[in-house]
A and B are shown apart, each in its own frame.
Chain A
Amino acid sequence: MNASKPKVAIYKFASCDGCQLSLLDAEEELLAIAGAVDIAYFPEASRRMMRGPYDIGLVEGSVTTPHDVERIRAIRKECRMLITIGACATAGGIQALRNWKDVKDFTRIVYANPEYISTLDRSLPIGSFVHVDFELRGCPINKMQLVEVVLATLHKRKPNIASHSLCVECKLKGNVCVMVAKGTFCMGPVTHVGCGALCPAYQRGCYGCFGPMESANTASLAKHSTDNGGSDIDVKLAFRSFNAYAEAFRRESDAHE
């Protein structure tokens, strides 16, 4: 262990583990990263858990329990830079679908033994509780973007991560537009770039796993869908999925309730 190496910690909140797994999936970069930084806290990969403070904290998952609220505040204090990774940490994740349920009634019905389980009414992103230095989108994140964010942070520069719509990436790849050519509903026009425009390349419409792009015109896309025979319920479901609680998508799904 080298004392001069930056210390990195990786934390998990409510999530599927997929985003932190991206780090282990960066097979070619993993040993290089492990050589450049001291991975001081990464329970998914190591039983060695060093104390903070840390230079970089990567946070996966959303906040769903009172205990998690306290935990994220403590984590913020021990990390110089705090980076959230993935749709759960940046938007509340798929589990934010609970945010539309009447959780009080739900809890009364569900918990015969409420003392066993502690849960909040809503699943919320990390940024609802503490200041976040950079949010990396995606369900899951793109592992090469994760490597870029870590490298940029180590070199004290802004990560080179685009924030325009998926359509731009899709055109650059030379995909045939599934919406124009086949009339397939596609979230591409309002979705944040980053996945590599995968779905249209596989002949299906984008389903928005990177969440809303900056200044997304969701109403226009929704109107395009309903003008072409789509139902309100389908528009609602399309916006209410893996990034349901991101503001632009939340507003649009509510408009079709």
Chain B
Amino acid sequence: MPMNDKTIKVDYLARVEGEGSVYVKIKNNEVADVKFKVFEPPRFFEAFLRGRRYSEAPDITARICGICPVAYQMSSVHAMENAFGITVDGPIRDLRKLLYCGEWIESHVLHVYMLHAPDFLGYEDVIQLSKDHAAVVQKALKMKKIGNELMTLLGGREIHPINVRVGGFYKVPTKKELAPMVEKLKWLRDAAVEMVRWSASLPFPELEQDYEFVALRHPEEYPFNEGRLASNKGLDINVKEYEFYFQEEHVPYSNALQSVLKERGPYHVGPLARFNLNFERLTPTAKELAHEVNFLPTVRNPFKSIIARSIETLYASEEALRIIEGYEPPGQPSVDVVPRPGLGFGCTEAPRGILYHRYRISEEEMITDAKIVPPTSQNQRSIEQDLRSVVVKNISMPKDQLTWLCEQSVRNYDPCISCATHFVTLELEKESSRIS
């Protein structure tokens, strides 16, 4: 029997944000070991957030991730507002969603076409892909640019926007400033319809996993900034109960903590989870298209997350259009903020899934404690489970091909390793403080 034993190693996983590797050991035709390792050095954000002003949290936590800074800004401002008993609604709430739409669009288009699609079509990167599919790539770049333009218009720039504050914005756009986006977003909506059809036509490896999908769920809306945490296996909790239900574990080979649902194990967050749990809240166009391409809940093939990202790109373009067309500027760019000491919780839907923040604020308006759980930490266990299943299913595949398929399996999650590594310190500190 050929190849009883082999080791699959990807020392530096490409087309993901940050530094990670894959290790799979096969012995006697069985999978002996699977590791998704994160070797990116930790940056200790929670540690140095202590002693900073509450108002600095959106700008500082944005620096955890250059790909999804708005997610960090949104989770942090909602956590602070929760601590201070503030609710933001009306046009400011809409503008936050609009900014988030911009981030979903640029992040999803980046991942679908530049990071993920090359795997399905057998190219090493988007530059190689563009040699044979120039029109597709040029269109993708134009789509991505519209997402970035939305972020620049509302946030000042697309990476680490400067306009978000606790309570709202520093400055809000006029109707006239938003108006030029309408035609662009209409074009984007049409392009996203094609994107859904195109992504649904890709060749998908077979794999069905019995995931527990976790996402925010809101009574009326597809979730961005608000909602309860729900799953397809009965979870339905308030965001502030997060730490009663989820815990982080430290494994020796990774600089990122791995989250699990207590007594239940791994779970899956991100576009596929949001889609499966919130299908009814999509726009009629998006739902109709999902029917057309036969992509309906509950989808359990992780490779098909690329279709969920495409549908969400369509959703975000329609939602952005709706917000702009109904926009009336608020009287003030932000609501009044009266800080008070206490605890605040925030959880929003980053492009890659739920992003949880918790802060304690002192009398002096300083952060005394911070906890941040990014989506990629939460998906690590599911990633490892998928790797195991993929290898078991394809154990006789030539090693080069199987290695590439393993890489593709990790990229199904659009993992952001830069996000995932900054969280070691706090957990260890907490453990040691429990001991002492």
Chain A residues in the interface with B (C-beta under 8 A)? 12-19, 21-22, 24-25, 27-28, 30-31, 34, 39, 42-49, 64-65, 68, 93-95, 97-98, 101, 106, 109-113, 115-119, 123, 139-140, 195, 198-199, 201-204, 207, 209, 237, 241-242
Contacts and interface: CB of A to CB of B under 8 A. Distances in A.
B196 interface: no
Interface string B212-250: 000000000000000000000000000000000000001
A131 B404 CA distance: 37
A95 B160 contact: no
Contacts of B16: 44
Interface residues of B, number: 69
A27 B148 contact: yes
Given A43-B12, A203-B171, A112 B66 contact: no
Nearest to B254: A116
Interface stretch (B28-36, B37-45, B294-302, B340-348): B37-45
Nearest to B165: A204
Contacts, number: 174
Interface in B128-169: 128, 130, 137-138, 141-142, 144-145, 148, 156-160, 162-163, 165, 169
The 9 A-B residue pairs with the shortest CB-CB distance in the complex, in nearest-first order: A18-B66, A46-B125, A47-B14, A97-B48, A48-B124, A95-B43, A27-B141, A140-B159, A16-B66
B158 A202 contact: no
Contacts of B56: 237, 241
Given A46-B14, A98-B47, A202-B163, A17 B145 contact: no
Contacts of A24: 110, 114
A129 B300 CA distance: 48
Given A18-B66, A48-B125, 20 more contacts: A13-B41, A27-B141, A27-B148, A39-B127, A44-B15, A45-B114, A46-B14, A49-B12, A95-B43, A98-B47, A110-B429, A112-B428, A113-B252, A117-B42, A123-B43, A198-B156, A199-B170, A202-B171, A204-B163, A207-B59
Contacts of A39: 127
A22 B63 contact: no
Given A116-B252, A198-B157, A207-B59, A34 B127 contact: yes
Contact of B44 (A19, A43, A98, A209): A98
Contact of A25 (B45, B148, B425): B148
B48 A204 contact: no
A115 B158 CA distance: 38
Given A15-B418, A21-B159, A116-B250, A43 B60 contact: no
B262 interface: no
A202 B60 CA distance: 18
Contacts of B407: 47
Nearest to A63: B41
Given A195-B157, A202-B163, A21 B425 contact: no
B65 A17 contact: yes
A45 B126 contact: yes
Contacts of A47: 14-15, 124-125, 404, 407
Given A101-B47, A195-B157, A31 B138 contact: yes
Contacts of B52: 237
Nearest to A15: B418
A111 B250 CA distance: 11
27 contacts: A15-B418, A17-B416, A19-B66, A24-B114, A25-B106, A27-B144, A31-B141, A43-B13, A45-B127, A46-B14, A46-B15, A46-B126, A47-B15, A94-B45, A95-B44, A98-B44, A98-B47, A109-B432, A119-B42, A139-B63, A199-B162, A202-B163, A203-B171, A204-B165, A207-B162, A237-B56, A241-B56
A177 B286 CA distance: 46
Contact of B130 (A16, A31, A198): A31
Nearest to A29: B141
Interface string B47-79: 110001100100110011111010000000000
B428 A21 contact: no
B19 interface: yes
A100 to B, nearest CB: 9
Interface in B72-98: none
A176 B142 CA distance: 34
B162 A204 contact: yes
B60 A94 contact: yes
B428 A110 contact: yes
A140 B13 CA distance: 24
Contacts of A25: 106, 144, 148, 158-159
